[in-house]
Structure 1
Amino acid sequence: MTAPSTESDAPVALPWGEAETLTLDLPQAWRSTAEVVWPDLTGGIDDYPAALEKALNAPEAGLQVGPGSTVAIVVDDPSRWTPVREALPIIVRRLHELGVRQEDVSISVGVGRHHAVNAEAMRKRVGDAIADAYSCHSPPVDDLSAYVDLGVTPEGVPVRVFRPVAKADLRILIGSVLPHLQAGFGGGYKLIFPGTSHRTTLGALHRQGLSAGQAGRLLGGNADQNPMRQAIRSAARLLGPCLSISHLLGAPGEVLHVAAGHPDAVQDQLAVEARRRLRAPDAAPADLVVAGNNPWPGDPMQSFKVLLQHRAASRPGGVLVGFFWTEADQIDRSFPMPALRAIAASGAVGGWVIRRGLALASDLVSAVGSPSAFMLRWARELVVDRTVLVFAPPLYDRIGPRLGPIRLFADQGQLWQAAADALSRAGVDSPRVRVFPQGGLTYAPEPEPRTSPQPASAV
């Protein structure tokens, strides 16, 4: 059983950046009743190389390769904190011990629709020795000539996979299981579909499940009931053999579990543990929800997913507050700066239009099959019936106090006053408050029966 929820007058401190903390200056009346929800990160691995070697020695993780075999290693992109640099030397050593030649091993980053990984970022991701010795790729998502067409899934998804990955005799996937709004949890075959797939494939995959209700309803769910995950598994049947080396992570540098084997089996195994450790306790929706973006790196657009992961914890008409530690050079990693500035320049009027026009825009792009449909659906669910406030000083400095209907802050006093004003307009004087300091790990799905897996601890 998890620890019961408790309330305290003690200040609430969020992890902030790589090693700092940030104290929330919550009004005293709110602080004394706030519920603080932390993930269960107990029992981390002390010796990761030894744990990985043990996972690779399991019978289900056998490497069926030898002299003349080609191997495509696929790793997740730099927005994740999977221990890729630590894992790769162990994996390539084992391949070479089996007779696989260095020139027959390629490494691809599963970027999907994120920014391409340049040479500097590639070295940081895989390590200098690996970057110098092996062919490393960031798949060009729009260059159809770089992909192999493997057919179409029963769900109607065209399966176009980056050539080095599609043509290899074996694919080794190195990733992590984290909460995902559409796929339930990330990781596994998702590193290929959509990670190393053409834009037409990733667009079709991201449209799976949009008709299942509100965006995020599939968050943390079972793979066998998830339309996107089922379409991914259908696509994987058109490929040859794959081995998954997957992780359950805490903060960067903290590995809770590593497993190796068939991607479906490993994914299902780690998803069970992720639910136990990361799922927030069931509770009545709060008036005010605060979520920090830790341990996500400082990319604010990725951090908005943190608010969506905790949207169901707040009631309609309530207030969602994000605390986004943001690196100045990462602000436009997932969304171009000109577009951010254009939205910011529209001011309050633009926010009004966006809030009321998102439903129509979302329905329109879904009807025409646009790959942007899933992003608009998420945006619609986030802002359509809640006040969204974000503390992110570098983002505020770059684009000002608004991002469409979302208000940005560099001063906590001003932020909490804006939250109090919004709650007062809703007739709430004594709000129920929930705080998720490590919101990049925790998640709050739509309410489920009480027979669901054990949730994360609240202390």
Structure 2
Amino acid sequence: MKPIGLAYGRKEVLLGLPEKTLVQVLEGKPNGHEKTEEAIIVEALSNPMGTDRLQDIVKAGQRVCLVISDVTRAWQKMSLYLPYIVEELNQAGILDENIIFLCATGSHRKQSREEHKLLLGEELALRFQVIDHDCRDESNLVDLGKTSFGTPVQINRIAMDCDHIIITGAIVYHDLVGWGGGKKSILPGIAGYQSIMGNHGLSLSHIEGAGTHPHVKSGNIVQNPLHEDMLEAAGIVNPSFLFNVMMDEAGNIGNAVAGHFEGAHEVGRKLVSESDGIFINEKADLVIASAGGFPKDMNLYQASKALSNGKEALKPGGTMILLCQCEEGFGHPEVQEIITGFESNLARETELRRNYTIAKYAGFLVTEIAAKYKVILVSEIDPVLLEAANIKVVSTLESALKLVGGIQDAILKTYVIPKAANVLPIVASDSN
């Protein structure tokens, strides 16, 4: 059969499998229309859901905070859609000097000027500076009270001092809050560190030793406390407008929604499920997946999302090979700390409950998956560092396949997922 291309960092690796071994290549569905990306953007902005058009919401002389994602989400092609939003603001009489670009870094690192240029594109980068939100700068936070979950709502002062907050981003499956985009631009995007940790601490089960919360997973918001808590926080902030994109199987903008931060996002979630929720009849012995290449595999922190999605197509005790270059290694020292510094998942969970951080949770999620499945990473991470988590690391896909064995004899039925950070396998019988 024809080799399957899998992204690895900034290059492509070819996978050859016997046809009798391969059950299915799990990929997003085509968007079903012939519209250009530009046409999709304009149509969404022209037909907002639950609000007036952006140009009718803002008034000349007002200050507008435009919240954008950070470089780990550069794949959403912000440089393509942001000029249209700025143009609409300008048409409403908002001067460039009254438009503030605030990067929703959450608890991620600050970015370079070159990375800001990548996000805005050449033309906007000449006109605007980008401010990176700093969740630990308490002097630049406004206290807005607490949610019903007890999470403090501390939000970036620059945003709150503006007349309008516009949130942008992309809607994809997310292993904590069900779907990304929407409210995530507020919490964790421009929230304080205590807000972020309080919210994400809800990801653990109420029962100590039980690991992660059973409803905290990709594609689910029902009884998902992170979703409910984030939504409350966003409601307190009450952003004036949302613009979110959805990517197609080719990595282009395949759909977009605009309008009310909750209602438009709900429509976007349904569109994502229609395109990236892939029904399967049964789980397989082996899953071979790519996180989707750079920047989705820039570090293990980011690549853990692909691991979380990919496992949904795998039998208990099955094997997953994940291609994730991880040129930045673990991506955060606390991801490495929770993985390498403890000998058991119970000890890791105890540490997580003692001093919760998102990075530690990401590392714990990786080790929790590795306890239920056999995990092999094709990566640049030092193999010794993942031995404690019972994860094997090799430098090539060929080496990973040799570790599995049985493929040529069709003993192992296999799914291949070229973009596992986006696609969510769903067993048909589980959806009833």
Q: TM-score, normalised by structure 1?
A: 0.82
Structure 1 residues 430, 127: closer, same or farther in 2, change over 3 A? same
Written as runs of structure 1 = structure 2, the 5 A alignment for 1:343-382 is 354=342, 356-367=343-354, 369-372=356-359, 374-382=361-369
Corresponding position of 1:418: 403
User: Counterpart of 1:334?
Assistant: 331
- Return the match for 2:423 from 442, 445, 455: 442
Of 154, 159, 164, the residue aligned with 1:165 is 159
After TM superposition, the structure 1 = structure 2 runs for residues 287-326 of structure 1, keeping only pairs within 5 Å, are 287-294=285-292, 297=295, 298-301=297-300, 302-325=302-325
**1:68 paired residue number:** 61
The answer to whether residue 255 in structure 2 is matched with residue 257 in structure 1 is: yes
Q: Which amino acid in structure 2 is aligned with residue 38 of structure 1?
A: E
How many residues are matched? 418
| Structure 2 contact 242–258 (Cα < 8 Å) conserved | yes
Q: For residues 396 and 98 of structure 2, what CA distance do their matches in structure 1 show?
A: 54
Is 1:403 equivalent to 2:386 in the alignment?
yes
Q: Kindly provide the CA deviation profile for residues 273-310 of structure 1, in whole angstroms up to 9, marking residues without a partner as x.
A: 21121123133332211111115524131123201111
Distance in 2 (CA, whole Å) between partners of 1:291 and 1:258 is 27
More off after superposition, 44-53 vs 87-96: 44-53
Give the aligned CA root-mean-square deviation in angstroms: 3.0
Q: In the alignment, is the contact (CA less than 8 A) between 1:288 and 1:318 conserved in 2?
A: yes
Deviations 1:177-201 (A, max 9, x none): 1110111000011012101111111
Aligned residues of 1:43 and 1:256 also touching (Cα < 8 A): no
Q: Residue type matched to 1:432 in 2?
A: K
Task: Supply the distance in 1 between the matched residues of 2:80 and 2:356 (Cα, whole angstroms).
Answer: 40
CA distances 1:240-295 after superposition (whole Å, capped 9, x unpaired)? 43211111102575111011110111111111121121123133332211111115
- Tell me what 1:384 maps to: 371
The residue number in structure 2 matching 1:232 is 230
Deviation sequence 1:306-330 (CA, Å, 0-9, x none): 011111221222211102255x4xx
Deviations 1:208-255 (A, max 9, x none): 242277468543435353211111111112214321111110257511
Letter in 1 for 2:347: L
**Cα deviations by residue, 1:417-447 (Å, 9 ceiling, x for unpaired):** 21239x9xxxx98222221122122113587
Deviation larger for 12-21 or 163-172: 12-21
**Could you tell me how far 1:335 is from its partner in structure 2?**
2.4
C-alpha contact 2:338 2:348 (8 A) present in aligned 1 = no
Equivalent in the alignment of 2:185: 191
Change (3 A) 1:45 1:87: farther
Distance 1:147 1:323, change over 3 A: same
Partner SS for 1:204: helix
User: Equivalences for 1:103-122 in 2 at 5 Å?
Assistant: 103-122=97-116
Q: Which whole-Å CA distance do the structure 1 matches of 2:274 and 2:30 have between them?
A: 10
Provide closer, same or farther for how the CA distance between residues 222 and 443 of structure 1 changes in structure 2, counting only shifts above 3 A.
closer
What CA distance in whole angstroms lies between the structure 1 residues aligned with 2:290 and 2:419?
Answer: 6
What TM-score do you get using the length of structure 2 for normalisation?
A: 0.87
Secondary structure at 2:405's aligned position in 1? helix
Q: Measure the CA separation in 1 of the matches of 2:374 and 2:99.
A: 50
Shift in CA distance, 42/56, structure 1 to aligned 2, threshold 3 Å: closer
* One-letter code aligned to 1:66: K
Aligned-residue offset at 1:339: 7.6
Gaps of 5+ in 1: 1-9, 345-349, 452-459
The CA distance in 2 between the partners of 1:195 and 1:116, in whole Å, is 13
How far did residue 31 of structure 1 move?
5.2
Distance (Å, rounded) in 1 between the aligned partners of 2:322 and 2:271: 26
- For the 8 Å contact 1:251–1:295, the answer to whether it is kept is no
1:61 CA displacement: 4.5
Distance 1:296 1:19 in 2: 6
* Corresponding position of 1:3: none
| 2:412 equivalent among 408, 431, 434 | 431
SS at match of 1:22: strand
1:359 to 1:280, Cα distance in 2 relative to 1, 3 A: farther
Structure 2 contact 64–165 (Cα < 8 Å) conserved: yes
Q: Quick one: distance in 1 between partners of 2:213 and 2:33? A: 32
Letter in 2 for 1:431: L
Structure 2, gaps ≥5 residues long: none
Is the deviation greater in 170-179 or in 439-448?
439-448
My pick for the range that moved more, 176-185 or 102-111, is: 102-111
Q: Which residue of 2 aligns with 1:456?
A: none
Q: Match for 1:321: what amino acid?
A: I
Kindly indicate whether the alpha-carbon contact (under 8 Å) linking 1:291 and 1:321 is maintained by their aligned counterparts in 2: yes
CA contact (8 A) 2:21 2:413 kept: no
Query: What amino acid sits opposite 1:300 in the alignment?
Result: N
Are 1:108 and 1:136, in contact at CA under 8 Å, matched by a contact in 2? yes
Offset of residue 368 of structure 1: 5.1
> 1:13 deviation in Å?
0.8
Counterpart selection for 2:276 from 275, 278, 298: 278
